[in-house]
Structure 1
Amino acid sequence: MEAPGIDITSPQEMPAGPAAGRVYSGRQPSERTMERHDRLVDAGVEVFGTVGYAGAKIKILCQRAGLSERYFYESFESREQLLTTVYDDLSGRLMHQVVNALQSPSMNLQESVRAGMGAVVNFMLDDPRHARIILVEIVGVSPELEAKRHKSMTAFAAQSMNQLLLLSGIDPEQAQEQMAENPDDAVLATVLDAARLTAVSMVGGVNNMLLDAVLGGTTGNTERIADIALQLICSASIGIRALAVAD
């Protein structure tokens, strides 16, 4: 845990005193605490996404949030905990946007898959801070964050696998049910394993395209990246379909 620095009260926030617990400016103490928490999360997005995690000292984060350092430790134990919260927030918002795009009732299957790809690309590149935090700053910080990152990537790979199977003419839920009922079905087992590994590789490939855009200064290339991601999954579906009809 990082030790708190000297407590220098900022003009924006005064430390709790005898009036702690009272309603101030129409807000309960819990509401003011949550507001400070949210300001620190917003500051984390800005600082981690521009300066980077290594250079994001607590003093810098607090200055960005307009808070004294004592309020940092009111909400977070360390910079890593703030980074974890920021990452959870960004990856959760991204997954929500992807699922909404995939479930649009006005689109056919290929259109919805393209919309899902577009949701990923736009979330990451319309605000490059998102891509930097998710793809760069989170990497290698700690075993706990590596496990969290892997869990998040696995969740996105599962979404990609479902879309890959659908494009291959296979209902994912029915396939899983059939596999559970008949675990000796070698063909179906091969199809599902190939689809899973393909989806994992696609998530990694799309992430690398996004990273290339951020580091190469081509973040405006969103349509091309989304189109190529769609081509990749459509091409992969041909191979999965061929496995499914193999004897």
Structure 2
Amino acid sequence: MSTERRSWAGTDLEQRQRARREKLLAAGVDLLGGADGPAVNVRAVCRAAGVTERYFYESFGDREEFVRSVYADVGERAREALIAAVGSAETPRERASAAVLAFVELMVDHPEMGRVLLLAPITEPALGGRGLELAPSFVVLVQDQLGSVADPDERQMVAVGLVGALTSLFISYLDGTITTDRERFVAHCVELLTGAGERVPGA
């Protein structure tokens, strides 16, 4: 038997597996981040992705592993968007504005993604405790922008507080508790970030 990987229409087996996995993850974002709450089961995911259950289990061991993979995928996209946004700006205010806008574009303009990252850990048992899993990486990103705060312990505490405050703001915006318009919401978040270091004693 040939050891060469079989290919179909110029696409090899690994590429097809990867494409199926990406379709399943995309379907998972829509179902896990649905406006009416998570509605994830293997059959619904496969139907939404247009694949059979055989291909679901090709990539994921079970429903719980799938849900965690969807959450991790959205979290990584958020982290990468924030890093890119901050890296393209110069002043602290520009970096804060770019970071908030990047997060808004990902989490608010695509609310299903926001609900996966921020609301699903509260309502989906498979993500129990995962809501805090990504926090350290976001804290580091914020901490790096607080150069005006000289004391490292103070800088860390300010960053942790800011991430907590911003998380609560975005959750409230996504679930409809906060009803202000998008522009005012972004401006408030930017001011929260840029003003934090200035308000710290000795900064």
Give the TM-score of the pair, scaled to structure 1: 0.71
Amino acid in structure 2 at the alignment position of 1:81: E
Give the alignment partner of residue 83 of structure 2, picking from 91, 99, 112.
Answer: 99
SS where residue 126 of structure 1 aligns?
A: coil
1:73-93 CA-to-partner distances (Å, cap 9, x unmatched) read 111011221222222221111
Cα 1:134–1:100 change in 2 (3 A) is same
1:158-187 CA-to-partner distances (Å, cap 9, x unmatched) read 111221x22x264xxxxxxxxxxxxxxxxx
Deviation at 1:227, TM superposition (A): 1.4
Amino acid in structure 1 at the alignment position of 2:14: S
**C-alpha distance in structure 2 between counterparts of 1:192 and 1:233, whole Å:** 17
Residue of structure 2 in register with 1:116 after alignment = 99
1:165-222 CA-to-partner distances (Å, cap 9, x unmatched) read 22x264xxxxxxxxxxxxxxxxxxxx32222122112112111111111111868833
Q: What is the count of residue pairs matched by the alignment?
A: 198
Give the alignment partner of residue 154 of structure 1, picking from 136, 139, 142.
Answer: 136
Report if the CA contact (8 A) 1:161-1:195 is conserved. yes
Residue of structure 1 in register with 2:30 after alignment = 46
Deviation at 1:102, TM superposition (A): 1.2
Cα 1:225–1:37 change in 2 (3 A) is same
Give the alignment partner of residue 228 of structure 1, picking from 183, 188, 196.
Answer: 188
Cα 1:219–1:89 change in 2 (3 A) is farther
**C-alpha distance in structure 1 between counterparts of 2:61 and 2:32, whole Å:** 17
**C-alpha distance in structure 2 between counterparts of 1:144 and 1:43, whole Å:** 17
- Superposed CA RMSD in Å reads 2.4
Deviation at 1:139, TM superposition (A): 3.3
Report if the CA contact (8 A) 1:122-1:222 is conserved. no
Residue of structure 2 in register with 1:243 after alignment = 202
Percent identical among aligned pairs is 27
Cα 1:222–1:122 change in 2 (3 A) is farther
**C-alpha distance in structure 1 between counterparts of 2:193 and 2:10, whole Å:** 53
Residue of structure 2 in register with 1:5 after alignment = none
1:19-73 CA-to-partner distances (Å, cap 9, x unmatched) read xx632222222222222111111111111111543x3111100000111112111
**C-alpha distance in structure 1 between counterparts of 2:72 and 2:46, whole Å:** 20
Residue of structure 1 in register with 2:152 after alignment = 192
Higher radius of gyration, 1 or 2:
1
Give the TM-score of the pair, scaled to structure 2: 0.85
Report if the CA contact (8 A) 1:126-1:219 is conserved. no
Report if the CA contact (8 A) 2:28-2:67 is conserved. yes
Deviation at 1:144, TM superposition (A): 7.3
Alignment of 1:108-147 (within 5 A): 108-139=91-122, 141=124, 146=129
